[in-house]
Structure 1
């Protein structure tokens, strides 16, 4: 909250009575409180709707596409990046700065390049993991172990953690390991396969989680130095990553052709009942829904990252993943074994313990270094 202005009589002006002087001060206090609390409540509401509404509803469209063809992960990622890059360009457009017409960036571009490589790699790896016979519920559970890698990365960056946080992370590791083992056992029993191909998927998700933790801490440091430039981050992370998809173009084209051949879906256009029904391939409709909800989700996550620490972001996203898991089970009738359900309870319970534990602090040596800077 900005400091209240001092109410002192101007030179040459007549002073008011002592009874009237507190009134303007009280009015200013009320006004500043209303503006500050109102804006905070509005920002919190927007973040909640974008994250829980966008991210959770995104699961429905994602699983519908993955169930149709598990190798569609890279295509989904590319379409998401393309859409967010286009919408971000509209916000960053500046007609006075040819030839690209980008608005001047606050954060140096070389610093965003690290974020771009990490963000691109994480998204491609997470979606590519579906190609190795990993179900969406188990995928959610495994990705919920992000607190483990966040703590490890934070420790190497100079943060210390309480015993409660360490215990919570220990529970998380047990829960994630149990989920991986249970899923591996179930697939081997049902398919009779001696070659556990899906273990490669587990490794891919683990690598993505490590990179995600590094990116979270790096982004937190960037915002701390240059301010919460989340819109700038969102734009550059997507538009500059588009050329990285060029090697995947042939496979993405084949996947897009397959999606266009899916069963037509009849759509009723609102307020246009007189028009004939519109028929579109169902998988393309799911792809459009996935892109729109992912856009809302990413905006919410970036807005949260600009106003909270990497640890807080990890915990809130873990809660979101729990809701996504329940939606996946309910909407698609996914059946999880007892061990997998137990692992989900352990993972999300540990995330809850982690969230109420004392906040991490910087090591004394790091604090002294920051003071010198």
Structure 2
């Protein structure tokens, strides 16, 4: 892995800027699609996976040659295939459930904030399952993020319950959506720990391959998951077709095309940054991307927050910053210790 200091600053900033721009654009196009038809999230996710798998396959064929195209369907990894598939299908399930929560009247800012707090869940599961130990800074950052999420949730639920037209049934639907979002965040946290364990046991980081191969296989093997949901895909596709009588039909397909393209650019950029920089730098960059997405969502789609909600948001991102800084300090100490030895 190449460390950040060995990379030209201009090159790194270019990749970071490219990734943040494409990821924020992806969030904007996704929310635009949800505004047109909120019940097609699984169909959108399916289109994303198919498009990224096809596009990355074409790029791999260009890289290795058409004569080796058949070999690309075999995973070049030293770890057992079942572990790779567990990770792929787990993240695929998290992606589908994460998009489904929009049907429960959850705003995008709430979605972003909860997903940004996954570090706290990762620490909790890491301690309970793998008996991991964490520094004071990591614990403080985790506590800040958790309190921030609780603050935003209480603020948002209070705002909804005080609305005169808010029916009890709609409020229960909203709470159900929050429960699913908590489950999704815990699932992604567990999968992150699972992948870390796989890399440690089988030394997957040392295997041959590139970010492009990882991008292809993680999307290729996720496609059969969607084939288990033919009824859902058909029903959501019919909802899209029902828009044909209005001007929203062409808008939907235009936004969908923009969404799958920006999804490819976003995940490609994230995979490339993961190779060029340390995990801490990647975490900070992803945090910046989420923060920018949150700001764009609030500005473009009028997802307003109360002062209490804004305080909670600041706590979440401040906690993530403290956590990232703490990891960086720990890494610096380890490097200094290795130099002395």
Instruction: Confirm or deny that 1:126 pairs with 2:126.
Output: no
Report what 1:230 is aligned to. 211
Moved more, 227-236 or 82-91: 227-236
Separation in 1, partners of 2:89, 2:282: 20
Return the TM-score normalized by structure 1: 0.75
Separation in 1, partners of 2:188, 2:13: 25
Instruction: Confirm or deny that 1:144 pairs with 2:116.
Output: yes
Separation in 2, partners of 1:313, 1:210: 20
- Cα pair distance change 1:107/1:189, threshold 3 Å: farther
Report what 1:69 is aligned to. 37
Cα deviation, residue 327, structure 1: 0.4
Considering only aligned residues, what root-mean-square deviation do their CA atoms show, in Å?
Answer: 2.9
For each residue in 1:40-87, what CA deviation from the matched residue of structure 2 results, as whole angstroms up to 9, or x when unmatched?
752x23531343111111121111111222222111110000001111
Q: 1:328 aligns with which of 290, 297, 314?
A: 297
Separation in 1, partners of 2:191, 2:72: 28
Cα deviation, residue 159, structure 1: 4.1
- Cα pair distance change 1:242/1:234, threshold 3 Å: same
Moved beyond 6 Å, runs of 4+: none
Report what 2:73 is aligned to. 102
- Cα pair distance change 1:333/1:101, threshold 3 Å: closer
- Cα pair distance change 1:248/1:183, threshold 3 Å: farther
Report the structure, 1 or 2, having the larger helix content.
2
In structure 1, list runs of 5 or more residues that go unmatched: 3-35, 266-279, 363-373
User: Which structure would you say has the larger Rg?
Assistant: 1
- Cα pair distance change 1:158/1:296, threshold 3 Å: farther
Separation in 1, partners of 2:330, 2:82: 28
Instruction: Confirm or deny that 1:175 pairs with 2:148.
Output: yes
- Cα pair distance change 1:104/1:92, threshold 3 Å: farther
- Cα pair distance change 1:115/1:309, threshold 3 Å: farther
Separation in 1, partners of 2:21, 2:287: 15
- Cα pair distance change 1:107/1:85, threshold 3 Å: farther
Report what 1:88 is aligned to. 56
Separation in 2, partners of 1:259, 1:177: 36
Report what 1:6 is aligned to. none
Higher relative contact order (CA 8 A, sep 6+): 2
- Cα pair distance change 1:159/1:66, threshold 3 Å: same
Instruction: Confirm or deny that 1:202 pairs with 2:178.
Output: yes
Q: 1:357 aligns with which of 304, 311, 326?
A: 326
The answer as to whether partners of 2:114 and 2:149 remain within 8 angstroms in 1 is yes
The correspondence of residues 47-62 of structure 1 with structure 2, limited to 5 A, is 47-62=15-30
In structure 2, list runs of 5 or more residues that go unmatched: 332-341
For each residue in 1:103-154, what CA deviation from the matched residue of structure 2 results, as whole angstroms up to 9, or x when unmatched?
6624443332122112211111111111111011111111111111222344
Cα deviation, residue 241, structure 1: 1.3
Report what 1:111 is aligned to. 83
Separation in 1, partners of 2:304, 2:174: 18
- Cα pair distance change 1:122/1:193, threshold 3 Å: same
Aligned residues: 314
The answer as to whether partners of 1:119 and 1:237 remain within 8 angstroms in 2 is no
The answer as to whether partners of 1:126 and 1:205 remain within 8 angstroms in 2 is yes
Moved more, 65-74 or 153-162: 153-162
Q: What secondary structure is seen at the aligned counterpart in 1 of 2:304? A: coil
The answer as to whether partners of 2:87 and 2:191 remain within 8 angstroms in 1 is yes
Q: What secondary structure is seen at the aligned counterpart in 2 of 1:160? A: coil
The answer as to whether partners of 2:16 and 2:285 remain within 8 angstroms in 1 is no
Separation in 2, partners of 1:358, 1:251: 42
Instruction: Confirm or deny that 1:316 pairs with 2:285.
Output: yes
- Cα pair distance change 1:80/1:97, threshold 3 Å: same
- Cα pair distance change 1:237/1:136, threshold 3 Å: same
